[in-house]
Amino acid sequence: MEESATSSVKLRDRALEVLRSVFGYDGFRHEQAAIIERVASGGDALVLMPTGGGKSLCYQIPALLRDGMGVVVSPLIALMKDQVDALRQAGVRAAYLNSTLTAFQAADVERDMRDGALDLLYVAPERLVAPRCLELLSRCKLALFAIDEAHCVSQWGHDFRPEYLKLQILHERFPGVPRIALTATADRPTRSDIIERLSLGGAAVFAASFDRPNIRYHVVAKTSSKTQLINFLEAEHPADAGIVYCLSRRKVEEVAEWLCAKGRVALPYHAGLDAAIRERNQDRFLKEEAVIVVATVAFGMGIDKPNVRFVAHLDLPKNVEAYYQETGRAGRDGLAANAFMTYGMSDLGTLLGFIDESDLEERQRRIERHKLSALLGYCETVTCRRKVLLGYFGENYDRACGNCDNCLHPPQVFDGVVMAQKALSAVHRTGERFGAGYLVDVLRGQLTDRMRQSGHHRLKTFGVGSDLEPKQWHSVFRQLVAQGHLEVDVEGHGGLKFGETGWAALRGEVPFVFRAKERSAGRRGGLRNDAAPGPAGSSAKDPLFQALRSLRSELAREQNVPPYVIFHDATLMEMVRRKPADLTAMSRVPGVGRRKLDRYGAIFVAAIAKLVT
């Protein structure tokens, strides 16, 4: 007992020593220390942590602490090279095996494997389970298996990969080697699928909070999404890298072109583009500073560029899970970042159409529609957005975050029972067939030709809502849909019909408040995210930061690696703050490990000295 207690203390010390000397960080985050201890001492683990939470160290450090080579399974072939480059920069002996290597290159890696010359090996799942690879591994000393993006084993999620099911074999073939499965997908069905399908019944489960405190959420009703985007970018991100999501390929192209015309470097990315173009655009996003990618959902999985400063949705995403995953690509480095969205009722129609045209079973379609209205509920909420998001994932967040639009500028609300009754009555009396546009005309008493033809100008409801602007009525309808009182009728022509609680609401039995007026985005400067220090605040404009950033780019270009594998933005900002004058001071900057100190310390000290005098 005593012995195991001392050895556990020793293990912790050794883990901390590796964290400091190799990665240059001072302390562990969240449950990293416990996870590392578990795996380094030979146990299995399932790790649920949000994007940017720090999952990689959870297997990288145990692999360095244990004898032999750690094997990392990842579906993201395109990104293995970056991960390996980053590790090599830190002095870790890492390599990857996948279909992008030539036979010669693969043979080199295999030789290193046999010689015990690797600490970490990244492998694509289909490659790993091939008999040849398993055979080779059985002749190597293995430290652990890390199964990254472990939700790919689940059919529930959207990233299902059949080859992940075969990873079961690792447990059978190598029973003594600890396994750690990691994912940023948190829901229960996925979690139990991972445990069952990978035989991880004995694994310790580590579930971190899914909060991303450095991301600031803003959601605004769509007026003109392009103008709203540029206002937001000008106010918040004049020279930052980010991702803009749109629903259609055509819009992706259009917005990318438009941003270029506005002087930004913006590149399109969608499944309809040539693979070579897609790859080039992704590469530029990773390797250059301040590139904006405009994309459909085809872009982003596994993008682990740490300094994505914003993610903007110009249309509604598919559901809250997708939204959280997509926005989670911002601010992985922990510095301030923005998640911005514009949305409208027409997006809802488009997405409902997608669900309808899909080949899903009816039950699944109903779930998808439900998820979509939960997302609309998030958009329309007048309370703290973080609370709603985390609540959706089953986490109880019992305060207001102070870092979302609703917390920063509480929306004006008013008692909307009467307004809701008017709107619902218009829906009912016109036969639950019409869309919001027409219904607003009825409420506001617009005597259009269509109105005369239908005879709806004779209804009692006609003109009872002339006191509100069309924009406000549209918002009322969205909020009624968000709260489930109305539903979009997809079988019909996308008209609005009563939802489950529609009648109760019409009778005035359901209390609710309405958002009084839409804020205009960006313009007032009130949305600026400077709660956390970061390039979204003021330091991006600091000349020293700029200078260090270009020095970093230059070094990265010489080696053909992304700049952030040399130093992260957070590390550069610490250099700007501390202005280290010698190597000892430089070694204390978080993110400067031993190897990077040797390689780049002097160059950066000199650059700082030159600019500071």
Shorter beta-carbon distance to ligand ADP: residue 251 or 552: 552
Per partner kind, with CB cut-offs from 5 to 8 A, the member of ligand ADP, Zn ion, none near residue 568 is: ligand ADP
Which amino acid, residue 513? V
Shorter beta-carbon distance to ligand ADP: residue 49 or 401: 49
User: Cα–Cα distance between 409 and 216 in angstroms, integer?
Assistant: 13
Alpha carbon distances (Å) from 47 to 32, 34, 210, 409, 529: 10, 11, 12, 36, 30
Residues that bind Zn ion (CB under 5 A): 384, 386, 401, 404, 407
φ, ψ (nearest 5 deg) of residue 187: -70, 160
56 binds ligand ADP (CB under 6 A): yes
User: Cα–Cα distance between 374 and 116 in angstroms, integer?
Assistant: 51
φ, ψ (nearest 5 deg) of residue 99: -70, -10
Is 536 strand, coil or helix? coil
Per partner kind, with CB cut-offs from 5 to 8 A, the member of ligand ADP, Zn ion, none near residue 309 is: none
Output b/e per residue, 98-114; b: 16+ Cβ within 10 A. beebeeeebeebbebbe
Which listed range, 52-60, 347-355, 451-459, 551-559, lies at the site for ligand ADP (CB under 6 A)? 52-60
Per partner kind, with CB cut-offs from 5 to 8 A, the member of ligand ADP, Zn ion, none near residue 304 is: ligand ADP
Per partner kind, with CB cut-offs from 5 to 8 A, the member of Zn ion, ligand ADP, none near residue 119 is: none
Site for ligand ADP in 329-388 (CB under 6 A): 332-333
Per partner kind, with CB cut-offs from 5 to 8 A, the member of ligand ADP, Zn ion, none near residue 384 is: Zn ion
* 509 Cβ neighbours under 8 A, 6+ residues apart: none
Phi-psi group of 256: left, alpha or beta (phi > 0 → left; psi -120 to 50 → alpha; rest → beta)? alpha
Nearest to 488 by CA among 530, 569, 420, 433: 433
Token digits of residue 11: 């293990």
Output b/e per residue, 325-345; b: 16+ Cβ within 10 A. bbbbbbbbbbbbbbbbbbbbb
325 binds ligand ADP (CB under 6 A): no
Token digits of residue 404: 């979302």
User: Cα–Cα distance between 69 and 113 in angstroms, integer?
Assistant: 8
| Number of chain residues interacting with ligand ADP (CB under 6 A) | 17
**Cβ-based burial of 546 (10 A; exposed 0-12, middle 13-18, buried ≥19):** middle
567 binds ligand ADP (CB under 6 A): no
Kindly tell me which residue out of 15, 40, 57, 247 binds ligand ADP, with binding defined by CB under 6 A.
57
CB of 244 to ligand ADP, least distance (A): 21
How many CA within 13 A on the CB side of residue 471? Answer: 11
End-to-end CA distance of the chain: 58
569 binds ligand ADP (CB under 6 A): no
CB of 40 to ligand ADP, least distance (A): 15
Nearest to 477 by CA among 431, 448, 441: 441
Shorter beta-carbon distance to ligand ADP: residue 53 or 416: 53
CB of 213 to Zn ion, least distance (A): 10
Token digits of residue 16: 């901390």
CB of 319 to ligand ADP, least distance (A): 21
Per partner kind, with CB cut-offs from 5 to 8 A, the member of Zn ion, ligand ADP, none near residue 54 is: ligand ADP
Which listed range, 55-63, 154-162, 496-504, 518-526, lies at the site for ligand ADP (CB under 6 A)? 55-63
Per partner kind, with CB cut-offs from 5 to 8 A, the member of Zn ion, ligand ADP, none near residue 401 is: Zn ion
Do 270 and 297 form a contact (C-beta atoms < 8 A)? no
The DSSP element (H or E) to which 496 belongs, if any, is strand 495-498
Q: In what order do the strands lie in the sheet with 45-48?
A: 94-97, 120-123, 69-73, 142-147, 179-183, 45-48, 204-207
Shorter beta-carbon distance to ligand ADP: residue 28 or 340: 28
CB of 387 to ligand ADP, least distance (A): 23
User: Cα–Cα distance between 601 and 607 in angstroms, integer?
Assistant: 10
CB of 401 to Zn ion, least distance (A): 3
Shorter beta-carbon distance to ligand ADP: residue 32 or 98: 32
Shorter beta-carbon distance to ligand ADP: residue 218 or 332: 332
Shorter beta-carbon distance to Zn ion: residue 404 or 586: 404
CB of 24 to ligand ADP, least distance (A): 9
Dihedral sign, Cα of residue 341, residue 344, residue 346, residue 350: positive
Shorter beta-carbon distance to Zn ion: residue 382 or 555: 382
Kindly tell me which residue out of 11, 18, 35, 52 binds ligand ADP, with binding defined by CB under 6 A.
52
Shorter beta-carbon distance to Zn ion: residue 256 or 375: 375
Per partner kind, with CB cut-offs from 5 to 8 A, the member of Zn ion, ligand ADP, none near residue 49 is: ligand ADP
**Mask 446-485, x = binds ligand ADP (CB under 6 A)?**
----------------------------------------
Is 399 strand, coil or helix? coil
Kindly tell me which residue out of 306, 377, 463, 499 binds ligand ADP, with binding defined by CB under 6 A.
306
Shorter beta-carbon distance to ligand ADP: residue 57 or 439: 57
DSSP 404: B
Shorter beta-carbon distance to ligand ADP: residue 255 or 597: 597
CB of 511 to ligand ADP, least distance (A): 41
Site for ligand ADP in 7-36 (CB under 6 A): 25, 28-29, 32
Chain residues that interact with ligand ADP, rule: CB under 6 A: 25, 28-29, 32, 49, 51-57, 304, 306, 332-333, 568
